[in-house]
Amino acid sequence: MPLFDVANKVALITGAASGLGFRYAVKLLEEGARGVTLADIDKVAAAEALEHIQKAFGINKAIFVYCDVQRKSDLEEAFVKTIPEIPEYRYPNQQCWNIERSCLREGNCHQRQWGSLWRDPRTGQIHTPVQVGPRGSHRVCPGVTDTPLIQLMSGRNLGSVYQECLKILTNYPIQAPEHMANRMIQIIKSAPSGTMWIVEDNSLPFKFLLPNYQKMKRVYLDEDQ
């Protein structure tokens, strides 16, 4: 039995106008989510995403909120706008939870836990925490996925080191965004809280485990160094 049921829940998804964020929104609605907020800075892509969702799931299933995740105030405003727009959300047993940024609002009280970013040194991709209702958080690290982030990364990343990473992307298998969305839902529903998962090469999620420092090989600096 799943640890968490996404049915009748409301999700706020950052970067949801396209790419993985949009795929997450569609998959959540397919799984019975009450509604989704598409939080993004791309108004044109968001309009196309909303049109797609309305055709597939009907009206009142999604809203767009302009949100720059670099500004905490934008995220707070996105939550405020989500609550009155999604039908029947006002009841305290409904949860509004956020994907890709570590925030949680439940009923009329809320808590925020701002998480860290994880950067894949091979590809330069940035992965952020997933906060899921009252169960806590997961960290999900996608491998190379066929999204606009990868397709349009050249010249728009964090600098020369990451530009060099683009040269080796062809050495790694590229997975479909639909696969990543399916596995994200699997993790949300079934993975224990506080765990970190990697999804790559169109495979099942596998757990990332930090080494036990008592058992790990120790390499010491020389005294003269």
Whichever domain contains 186, its CATH number is: 3.40.50.720
Residue 156 lies in a domain: yes
| This model's pTM is above 0.95 | no
Residue 47 lies in a domain: yes
The torsion defined by the Cα of 26, 31, 33 and 38, in degrees rounded to 10, comes to -20
Could you tell me if 99 and 93 are in contact, meaning their C-beta atoms sit under 8 angstroms apart? no
Tokens of 155: 């010249």
Number of domains in the chain: 1
Q: What is the pLDDT, as a whole number, of residue 49? A: 97
Residue 223 lies in a domain: no
Q: What is the pLDDT, as a whole number, of residue 181? A: 92
Residue 94 has pLDDT above 70, yes or no: no
Its domain, for residue 22, covers 10-106+114-205
Neighbouring residues of 127: CB distance < 8 A, sequence distance ≥ 6: 117, 118, 119, 120, 139, 140, 141, 142
- What's the average model confidence in pLDDT over 97-123? 37
In the numeric block, the tokens 């990473």 are attached to: 165
Please give the single-letter amino acid code of residue 80.
Answer: V
Of 93, 67, 83, 99, the C-alpha closest to 184 is 99
Find residue 64's DSSP bridge partners: 38
CB-neighbour burial class of residue 163 (10 A; exposed 0-12, middle 13-18, buried 19+): middle
Residue 43 lies in a domain: yes
Could you tell me if 186 and 24 are in contact, meaning their C-beta atoms sit under 8 angstroms apart? no
Q: How far apart are CA 131 and CA 110, in angstroms?
A: 13
Residue 28 lies in a domain: yes
Q: How far apart are CA 48 and CA 167, in angstroms?
A: 32
Residue 209 banded pLDDT, cuts 50, 70, 90:
confident
Residue 155 has pLDDT above 50, yes or no: yes
Residue 119 lies in a domain: yes
Residue 192 lies in a domain: yes
Residue 51 lies in a domain: yes
Could you tell me if 145 and 175 are in contact, meaning their C-beta atoms sit under 8 angstroms apart? yes
Residue 187 has pLDDT above 50, yes or no: yes
pLDDT digits (tens, 9 = 90+) for 44-68: 999 999 999 999 999 889 999 999 9
pLDDT digits (tens, 9 = 90+) for 10-48: 888 988 999 899 999 999 999 999 899 999 999 999 999
pLDDT digits (tens, 9 = 90+) for 113-131: 333 334 444 444 444 444 5
